[in-house]
Structure 1
Amino acid sequence: MRMLPGLRHAMLIQRGHLFHWVPVCLATGIGGFFSLRFEPTGLMLAGTGALAMALWLLGRHMDEAFRPIPFALVLMLAGALLAAVRAHAVAGPVLGWRYYGPVEGRVVALDRSGSDAVRVTLDRVVMARVSPARTPLRVRVSLHGDGQGDGAGIDPQPGMRVMTTAHLSPPGGPVEPGGFDFQRHAWFNRLGAVGYTRVPLVGLEAAQDGWSLATFRLRMAMSAHIRAALPGDVGGFAAAVTTGDRSGISLRALDTLRASNTAHLLAISGLHMGLLSGFVLGLLRLVLAAIPGAALHWPVRKIAAAGALVAASGYLALSGGNVATERAYVMAAVALCAVMLSRRAISLRAVALAALIVLVLRPEALLGPGFQMSFAATVALVAVFGWMRGGVLSRGPRWIQPLVAVMVSSAVAGLATAPIGAAHFNTVSHYGLLANLASVPLMGLLVVPAAVLALLLAPFGLDGIGLWLMGLGLRWILGVANWVAGLEGARGYVHGPAPWVLPLIALGALVVILWQGRGRFGGLAVMALGGVLWTTADRPAALIAEDGGIVGVMTAQGRALSKEKGAGFVAQNWLENDGDGADQSRAAARWQEGDVADRTKLAKVGQIELVHLIGKRALAGFGPCVSGQIVVVSITPDAPLGNCDVYDPKRLRTTGAIALVQGRDGIHLRTARQVSGDRMWSGWAR
């Protein structure tokens, strides 16, 4: 009971700062919904809503100091309900089998795959021998083969109705238990099937009308114009930051940008939206101030903010309106509306409002690195510069303050996003701060103003001037990235954390920034605990792909892979999650046992002998297996193999990828289905 007065005092201090916690509580509920291993029934959701109402009524009659506690629980339950509503709202058919045959549909998106192949996303899909009720709302097809784009087939255009013969399959599950869930990602993008074609596309109808498709065509036309004026990676970079089309930049340049921690400059995010809005805001204020009497009689600052909001809205439309750009637009719009309402534009309250809007519109964005990194950087920057403005941290003499602001911005944003980037991408750029200090200022001083200049001069046919200036800045950025990436030890690798580690670190950081009073320093202990749990986590002793095509066994030299070619996406993800910088061929060379000629791989995992049979020849030459063996087969056998545990493609479709984990009492088998659960997007075979 002695603790109650102290707790009451601590809660009363939070008055006036509680709104900052609204999106945090909402996000907690959203995260809770996605972490469930079962699909809540309608009765469960109704009960959740009833419980939320009861807690709300309870909070209205509680002591003022403790009233936020039940209201926080209400927000958590509301977040779970919000995510459930969104998941049901985007529901659509998912292909339940492998399909080969004709596919036709309307082109609604164009991008490139990880293997640098052009990909088209189609809606209004028609498939042979598939009823409309079972046909996916959208499919994504990678265009392979020599016939693409060389005259043998048409180049896909936005809104065009096309047809091809494609191999399609359901979206794949996690490459390992607890890994990135592509099935869930595809569900919220309404992708019901993915695949590839080696047959050229055939155009059936010309591009159709419509606002979204007209904007899409304009984007692609602008991208082609920019890449014609600025060839190579410079043009691809310019197209990416103006239209969101990243198909023109090479994989080598992309890898260089990632190694130098400047790949965020490619994505149209908060940095680009903020720079554009700030530049237009300042430009309009200067123009209006030059008009005699305008500054005395007109609300120049508010008019300029309104103009900047219009420019940001146009940028959103031209960039394709993806999730990252929508998130950046919401943050910029909140700040500009605050200016028009004579409120502080940059504050934790404004950031909280922006996060709240994004979570309400797209609850699934919480799980993506884009949302996490952008809001982590923004919250940290607003907090640090608020402490500097309040005198807690010194900004130095006036003449050096601009340089201090740039250095502090890069350092704070880098530190805030480093754990998130390491958790999602398993890499750390050791010289990322250096690269960003040399690149980010030029983005604001030259690249974005030059892009605006090119747009203003385009009606007069003089946009080449702005594009030339833009190219100068982007060449410098690419040069810096290439130099930094070439430094010894530029990129480090870290193994992936357990699922609860990143939320723990985030909670600790939010307590440090948002909590009022001495209790905020408790957040440092929470962050430290998350870091310790990250470093002490063990990787699985063995991994089995969801189709049985590849197996990986942990050795003293790192993970040994059973194949040096094929299943490259799975192999790359396993090695990245291990924090291993080796490529697939090097990892395959670590495998010491097994008959390569018969494509039979053997390995000892604890007391279990793991056998991987690759192809028909290995399967035909394999004798009866015995107890204590786990046999992984890349094709389904026609007859039982013996007295052992066999995982063939048919069985693996019911379990997903498998991890063999070393425990205190031996090896434990963990499946992707056990970790992810049976959700509406899972599509596990029965």
Structure 2
Amino acid sequence: MPFAPGGRGWRLDGALARIEAWLEGERDQLPLWLPVMLGLGIAGWFMLPDRASWTALIAAALGLALAGVAVGLARRTGFALLAGGLAIAGGCALAWAKAEWVAVPVLTRPVVAAFDADVERVQQLAAKDSVRVVLRPIAAPTLPPRLRVNIANADAPPGLARGDRLQLRARLMPPPSASLPGGYDFAITAWFQQLGATGKAFTPVERLSAVPDGGSLRERIGKHIRDALPGQGAGIAVALVTGDQGSVSEADADAMRRSGLAHLLSVSGLHITAAVGAAMLLTLRLLALSPALALRWPLMLIAAGVGAVTGIAYTFISGAEVPTVRACVAALLVLAGLVIGREALTLRLVAAGALVVLLVWPEALIGPSFQLSFAAVVAIIALHEHPRMRAFTAAREEGPLFRLGRNAAALLLSGIAVEIALAPIALFHFHREGLYGALANIVAIPVTTFVVMPLEVLALLFDLVGLGAPFWWATGKAIALLLWIAHAAGNAPGAVALLPGVPRGAFALIVAGGLWISLWRTRLRWLGALPFAAGAAWALAVPAPDLLVTADGRHLALRGAGGSYALLRPKAKDFVRDMLSEAAGIDDELADLDDLPGATCTADTCRATIRADGRDWHLLATRSAYLTPIRAMNQACAEADIVISDRRLPRTCRPRWLKLDKPMLERTGGVAIVFGENPTVRITKMAGDQHAWVALASARPRR
């Protein structure tokens, strides 16, 4: 169709030509965006509140696909629009369908129940001195079909394993939602894991029958390691082999997180690579001992097959978590590339792994495990695919010291790239990020890969003939070195960066910018720095909350003049204190509201006055079940700007600004407030949210 020079059609045709030329230059990168678009549709389903919004997203995505058809499928622009639109629509529909497919009955209110149940999974919780079990109740029609219950170690039958049948009595509750804005929402995880309730067992817990082989292979290996390596290092050793981190003490787990070494405890790329590589190397060395086999048999093909079997077996032994599955898929693709003589360690490999995981587990997208593992791998490969990095790491004639220094520098650069990629994700989900991770990983990764894991494998192998003790002793010493690195890096001054909360919009800008930089190759890739920088600036500009209120109204943290926070209930448990500290973005102990200047507390109520931007804010909170005389309560409410209570307050209680009692908090969830001239309020629950786990919570009977 001809266009008049200077007309709108002529300009559109010119724009399409420029876009087409750019996409032609990026033709090898276009497939990488398929899992990104699929993930965009999945994320849209989780972020949008209701069916009308989900339907509108699918319709808009299909409209984008039709626009691609209109542009023309012979053009890369048209095909990209078609594929992207279909992927977005498919991602939203996939998440929606998966949520409906996994639906099971969920407990609607707390109950105390006695029942028999089969043990489906066992996890040790060293920090809580208890064991966590997933149970399937038997002949209990009033209970959900799948429960998660904690049993104190003193009450648990010895040698508890998968397949055992128990008789117990437990207090069960609906899976809890996030208690504070930006907090972990276990209700989503429970929905997709088909857990209908959580709870705690009472004594006695009786084992009616035991599985003859002592549980699954994973459980037997974990128990064997704990018996063979008693002490502090046993939990780390179990995590490295089986992926079960429940045996790691709270102090060691915190040190690993603060030092940026927590990824070593999650069986993922590092562990699968080490297992597959060791299996291939051992196979090649053994087969090469025979000249006839070395000359006549395809040793690389055989070794790749042994490596593939090893990787798959390790994945199932370690529980087949998302990072492990992703790493196993990637390893299989690498092996396939080696067999056919192709370069397999590329971003296409990562994209294929992401596509497999998202198609099977679309809910994994919103979890930190998926985001951290894929972000780390994308950062490393994108860095090493850059021409300058390829030139720097290319083999050359040089002395051993220069080679060692160059390899150490490459490892440090990789660590820095990974830290940049992971920091926004860690700050978004956990409100903290270790700053010395790049340096700590330079030592910790080689120690883990080339010392700890080989020693542990040798110890397990030699235990078959009763000679593993020396190897376990050496493993314990190596793990002690690893823990020393973690504690030294985690406890160093300025080791942890803290943020009270990263808005979803800021996080989305950072992710979009990072993907744009990582997945394109032409100069336009650097346009991604703009949204990345904008998102980072937005996140850093968010002020710390002045007041945090949990969803049940029982706990609050109030910010004092010096930036420290005070807690309403002095006897609050460590879990509550850690949760409030994390949401506040601080690494200090919480004080008691009784000791806060300007606060007056009794056994039943607390009053506090906080000054912000030249204005005094008056707070009233209840902290006991005893009722204050109605006249006194009404007067106290009238004198307060904000009133907080974990029970229903009378209608005559009318504060000047905000009333957060039980009925209001059931609608809003947890609350975070920033005082000032224009105060802002963040809440946990979206208005009109129709996701199944939220709809069930809203339908629960009020008490």
Alignment partner of 1:141 is 2:135: no
Alignment partner of 1:533 is 2:538: yes
Partner amino acid, structure 2, of 1:534: A
* CA distance in 2: counterparts of 1:98 and 1:455, whole angstroms: 44
Instruction: From 28, 36, 39, give the equivalent of 1:16.
Output: 28
1:400-549 mapped onto 2 (5 Å cutoff): 400=403, 401-549=406-554
Partner amino acid, structure 2, of 1:164: L
Preserved contact between residue 122 and residue 219 of structure 2 (Cα < 8 Å): no
Partner amino acid, structure 2, of 1:303: I
Task: Give the direction of change, closer, same or farther, for the CA distance of 1:587–1:186 in structure 2 (3 Å limit).
Answer: farther
Instruction: From 114, 117, 121, give the equivalent of 1:102.
Output: 114
Give 2:666's aligned residue: 653
Give 2:211's aligned residue: 207
Preserved contact between residue 113 and residue 169 of structure 2 (Cα < 8 Å): yes
1:640-679 mapped onto 2 (5 Å cutoff): 640=651, 642-644=653-655, 646-662=659-675, 666-674=678-686, 677-679=689-691
Give 1:681's aligned residue: 693
Preserved contact between residue 143 and residue 196 of structure 1 (Cα < 8 Å): yes
Preserved contact between residue 654 and residue 684 of structure 1 (Cα < 8 Å): no
TM-score, length-scaled by structure 1 = 0.89
Secondary structure of the residue that 1:200 maps to in structure 2?
strand
* Deviation of 1:536 (Å): 0.9
Q: Which moved more, 1:535-544 or 1:224-233?
A: 535-544
* CA distance in 2: counterparts of 1:427 and 1:629, whole angstroms: 32
Q: Deviations over 1:567-601 (max 9, x none)?
A: 64344223213221122346874464132343434
Provide the identity percentage: 29
Preserved contact between residue 430 and residue 582 of structure 2 (Cα < 8 Å): yes
* Deviation of 1:172 (Å): 1.5
* CA distance in 1: counterparts of 2:470 and 2:309, whole angstroms: 24
* Deviation of 1:126 (Å): 4.8
Preserved contact between residue 155 and residue 205 of structure 2 (Cα < 8 Å): yes
TM-score, length-scaled by structure 2 = 0.87
1:27-106 mapped onto 2 (5 Å cutoff): 27-39=39-51, 54=66, 58=70, 61=73, 63-106=75-118
Q: Deviations over 1:174-195 (max 9, x none)?
A: 1223433221121112111112
Q: Which moved more, 1:175-184 or 1:45-54?
A: 45-54
Give 1:211's aligned residue: none
Give 1:635's aligned residue: 647
Preserved contact between residue 61 and residue 88 of structure 2 (Cα < 8 Å): no
Alignment partner of 1:339 is 2:348: no
Q: Which moved more, 1:384-393 or 1:501-510?
A: 384-393
* CA distance in 2: counterparts of 1:254 and 1:67, whole angstroms: 47
Q: Which moved more, 1:160-169 or 1:461-470?
A: 461-470
Instruction: From 568, 576, 583, give the equivalent of 2:589.
Output: 583
Task: Give the direction of change, closer, same or farther, for the CA distance of 1:616–1:684 in structure 2 (3 Å limit).
Answer: same
Partner amino acid, structure 2, of 1:427: R
Partner amino acid, structure 2, of 1:263: A
Q: Deviations over 1:224-278 (max 9, x none)?
A: 2212221112122111111223233221222222222222211211111111112
* Deviation of 1:6 (Å): 2.3
* Deviation of 1:223 (Å): 1.5
Task: Give the direction of change, closer, same or farther, for the CA distance of 1:168–1:591 in structure 2 (3 Å limit).
Answer: farther
Give 1:383's aligned residue: 382
* Deviation of 1:101 (Å): 2.4
* Deviation of 1:481 (Å): 1.8
RMSD: 3.0
Q: Deviations over 1:109-151 (max 9, x none)?
A: 22255952424333322586xx35xx3232112224x8425xx
Task: Give the direction of change, closer, same or farther, for the CA distance of 1:24–1:497 in structure 2 (3 Å limit).
Answer: same
Q: Which moved more, 1:437-446 or 1:654-663?
A: 654-663
Alignment partner of 1:195 is 2:202: no
Instruction: From 603, 606, 617, give the equivalent of 2:626.
Output: 617
Task: Give the direction of change, closer, same or farther, for the CA distance of 1:15–1:489 in structure 2 (3 Å limit).
Answer: closer
* CA distance in 1: counterparts of 2:629 and 2:344, whole angstroms: 70
Preserved contact between residue 101 and residue 167 of structure 1 (Cα < 8 Å): yes
1:165-244 mapped onto 2 (5 Å cutoff): 165-207=169-211, 216-244=215-243
Q: Which moved more, 1:528-537 or 1:547-556?
A: 547-556
Partner amino acid, structure 1, of 2:633: G
Partner amino acid, structure 1, of 2:455: A
Task: Give the direction of change, closer, same or farther, for the CA distance of 1:675–1:470 in structure 2 (3 Å limit).
Answer: farther
* Deviation of 1:360 (Å): 0.7
Secondary structure of the residue that 2:196 maps to in structure 1?
strand
Q: Deviations over 1:424-443 (max 9, x none)?
A: 22223233223211211111
Q: Give unpaired runs (5+ residues) of structure 2.
A: 1-10
Partner amino acid, structure 2, of 1:674: M
